[in-house]
Structure 1
């Protein structure tokens, strides 16, 4: 997928596309110094990372400004992409200081309005998130544990998962009462995006 293909698939403006391109160029430069993404995914960056992240924005009604919290942001997927797309107030949580340096530089050159928290998820002060995201970070049950301090009765979790999605959901449902919607990923036929509200837990 090229950047033009991405633009056609998402309908983003030229300005937004240019900001995402600056982000992609910076990532390629920094990748030579630190491992930000799997090297094999770089040739297909616009599909594997940009579109994979951007599709989350389409699952939430843009009725009001929202606070998004992205746990384990890494190289900024999906959080920084969502920030560039202007979904609302976006918090990026990442404990790796080198990755945080990259995120700060990427936010600076793209003008993304994001707040970067350079600390472990367990030490993050409660954020009362409207939406919580996490990508390729941990099993679903663990993600829900980490998200708990930032969750309200109305918080939505948008969690992309791969082939083990249903097994992880079954495990999480042993402890949590979950309201779950499933969305097919636009970038991977074997992947599922869980849209979850936690209604209770043990």
Structure 2
């Protein structure tokens, strides 16, 4: 067993993640899935960073990842779910067709149970997710608009945010009512995970 952000993962799960990492390195020069400068430290910056949020909602029935890009955190969640939550339904929404093709390739090569929707978030019919995630996608105010569309009433939104999170929260409360829990990131002392519930438009 190998420790991954506090999860004891099997050799098989680790191999799936390494397959994913190899595909990321292969595809990134052509379609810029992640910043080139982060590839050397991709394991911490992307894989462990994504794995830490899986543990915040390991019993989700339907996990939706918005603006998935290179698949962080959604595809990592899907790979971990193979071992820890095989019944979990995972949906990745990514409007860029080339990135969506990459995500489908990763799912096929790793066996991850992930559905990829290649469309704009606002054009997708409501997904009724009980967990909604996004990383480096948009300001909180816009993320809450997406959550209002796609999150079930009793669901939780998990947004990975940087040092400006307090400013984003202050701006969002002008338009939204919600409860928020700030959870420290295990990979970046300046980052935070916002767990948002009870969302309603003001």
Tell me if structure 1 keeps the 8 A contact 2:5–2:51. no
In 1, the alpha carbon distance for the partners of 2:176 and 2:198 equals 7
Query: Paired residue for 1:132?
Result: 132
Does the residue aligned with 1:23 lie in a helix, a strand or coil? helix
Query: Paired residue for 1:49?
Result: 46
Deviation at 1:147, TM superposition (A): 2.0
From 3, 7, 12, give the equivalent of 1:10.
Answer: 7
1:11-30 alignment runs, 5 A limit: 11-30=8-27
In 2, the alpha carbon distance for the partners of 1:172 and 1:47 equals 30
Query: Paired residue for 1:105?
Result: 105
Q: TM-score w.r.t. structure 1 length? A: 0.93
Q: For each residue in 1:31-87, what CA deviation from the matched residue of structure 2 results, as whole angstroms up to 9, or x when unmatched?
A: 12211100010011110000110100111253xx51011110000000000000114
Greater strand share, structure number: 2
Tell me if structure 2 keeps the 8 A contact 1:136–1:161. yes
In 2, the alpha carbon distance for the partners of 1:8 and 1:178 equals 28
Query: Paired residue for 1:68?
Result: 63
In 1, the alpha carbon distance for the partners of 2:144 and 2:4 equals 33
- Pair 1:82 & 2:77 matched: yes
Change (3 A) 1:98 1:166: same
Deviation at 1:200, TM superposition (A): 2.2
Deviation at 1:9, TM superposition (A): 4.4
Tell me if structure 1 keeps the 8 A contact 2:151–2:157. no
Tell me if structure 1 keeps the 8 A contact 2:5–2:48. no
Tell me if structure 2 keeps the 8 A contact 1:176–1:198. no
Query: Paired residue for 1:186?
Result: 186
Structure 1 unaligned residues grouped into runs of 5+: none
Q: TM-score w.r.t. structure 2 length? A: 0.93
Deviation at 1:13, TM superposition (A): 1.0
Alignment RMSD: 1.4
Tell me if structure 1 keeps the 8 A contact 2:28–2:34. yes
Tell me if structure 2 keeps the 8 A contact 1:54–1:78. yes
Deviation at 1:139, TM superposition (A): 0.1
Aligned length: 196
Structure 2 unaligned residues grouped into runs of 5+: none
Query: Runs (4+) of structure 1 moved beyond 4 Å?
Result: none
